[in-house]
Amino acid sequence: MDIKPVEFDLPEHGSPEISCKPSQAWARVPAQPSTAEKSALKAEIKALLKARDAVLVAHYYVDAELQDLAEETGGCVSDSLEMARFGRESAHQNLVVAGVRFMGETSKILNPEKRVFMPDLDATCSLDLGCPADEFAAFCDQHPDRTVVVYANTSAAVKARADWMVTSSIALDIVGHLHAQGQKILWAPDRHLGQYIQRQTGADMMLWQGSCLVHDEFKAEELKMLKAQHPDALVLVHPESPQAVVELADVVGSTTQLIRATQTPGVNTFIVATDNGILHKMRQFAPDKMLIEAPTAGNSATCKSCAHCPWMAMNGLVNLRDVLKTGFDSGQGEVHVEPALGRQAYRCIDRMLDFAKTHGISGPRGQGRLEQAHQGVGPA
């Protein structure tokens, strides 16, 4: 396998254009307001959403209060693609995206006529950070014979250089389709997801070596021990996790697919290997089930091992209120994508949406094909 080495979790002397490294993100995670403050903030946010003709679109990994607020106010809680789709279908003129930067950008690319805001524009993603557009373009230029497929967790500039964008729900279908046509793939940025797709499809894939700093921390040896303590549990793993962890999975799938898996009949206990923000929605979907976080600790544990994304954690009630209150007038918190770049990036997203429609794949909202196809992918 060809390898393009890339640092994703940059050291202190890293790239100057990185505005918010993980340690800085943790330092900027908003303090939890008191119960009284929370209810006052929620009331204010609800009124502001109405006054601003705005809808709140939140990711499964953000604070539970924001997820509930999105649903209570007619918005949505979902994965990145469904968030963008929802924004496009919404009658509201303004979108507020509680998530990370590439999600706001994707919403803007799909909805160029709408204004898109985020509680904190510095909330980013290690996959996005680890794939700078100029280095990626140079890598693509070195391999003009390959079809460029990128994961949703990339900047608008990287998407503009790609032939296809995929989400984890549809990646296997699209890469399998391209492989059947004899195409060779250049994949970016998540190396673990890329390896997983490569193993499943047999496609010729050259992989960018990025990773998610949350999923990269799940530990296979400790997961084996946990499984031994809970032999009846189903192990749910997001494919951004390392191969050794994926090989222990009973279900490998996107966030939406993992949530659905908690409703598997006859199973009462689930071990979950993805950002622990997802547990809120899983508890709502399967209130009687026992959910156990997959281990991130162990001999090789680091300070990053908390199974929660520092950038997702930057979204809070106060900065959400602030962007609604003042950002709409000042422009603070507004997502901008240069129009020509946005039109170019739109092509690879539209190609994926068109593929999903043509092949009867409803995407993240639909029943998970990846989940269906690869249940039991575990060690057997």
**Minimal distance, residue 193 CB to ligand SF4, in Å:** 10
Q: Is 245 in the site for ligand SF4 (CB under 6 A)?
A: no
**Minimal distance, residue 172 CB to ligand SF4, in Å:** 18
| HEC profile of 159-189 | HHCCCEEECCCCHHHHHHHHHHCCCCEEEEC
Q: Is 212 in the site for ligand SF4 (CB under 6 A)?
A: yes
Contact 242, 217 (CB under 8 A): no
**Minimal distance, residue 37 CB to ligand SF4, in Å:** 27
Q: Write the single-letter amino acid at 301.
A: A
Q: Is 126 in the site for ligand SF4 (CB under 6 A)?
A: yes
Q: CA–CA distance from 28 to each of 12, 221, 239, 316, 325 (Å)?
A: 17, 33, 28, 10, 20
**Minimal distance, residue 7 CB to ligand SF4, in Å:** 14
Give the pairing of strands 54-59 and 94-98: parallel
**Minimal distance, residue 339 CB to ligand SF4, in Å:** 26
Of the pair 170, 312, the CB lying nearest ligand SF4 is at: 312
Q: Is 258 in the site for ligand SF4 (CB under 6 A)?
A: no
Q: Is 96 helix (H, G, I), strand (E, B) or coil?
A: strand
Q: Write the single-letter amino acid at 338.
A: E
Contact 163, 157 (CB under 8 A): no
Q: Is 63 in the site for ligand SF4 (CB under 6 A)?
A: no
**Minimal distance, residue 14 CB to ligand SF4, in Å:** 15
**Minimal distance, residue 275 CB to ligand SF4, in Å:** 5
The helix/strand count (H/E) of the chain reads as: 18, 13
Neighbouring residues of 228: CB distance < 8 A, sequence distance ≥ 6: none
Q: Is 206 in the site for ligand SF4 (CB under 6 A)?
A: no
CA distance 175 to 194: 10
Window 145-184: contact mask with ligand SF4 (x via CB under 6 A): --------x-------------------------------
Q: Write the single-letter amino acid at 71.
A: E
Q: In the sheet where 205-208 sits, what is the strand order?
A: 3-4, 205-208, 185-188, 147-151, 164-166
Q: Is 127 in the site for ligand SF4 (CB under 6 A)?
A: yes
Contact 161, 136 (CB under 8 A): yes
125, 207, 226, 307: which one contacts ligand SF4 (CB under 6 A)?
125
213, 248, 352, 370: which one contacts ligand SF4 (CB under 6 A)?
213
User: Total binding residues for ligand SF4 by CB under 6 A?
Assistant: 13
Q: Is 187 in the site for ligand SF4 (CB under 6 A)?
A: no
Window 263-302: contact mask with ligand SF4 (x via CB under 6 A): ------------x---------------------------
Site for ligand SF4, rule CB under 6 A: 61, 100, 125-127, 153, 212-214, 275, 309, 311-312
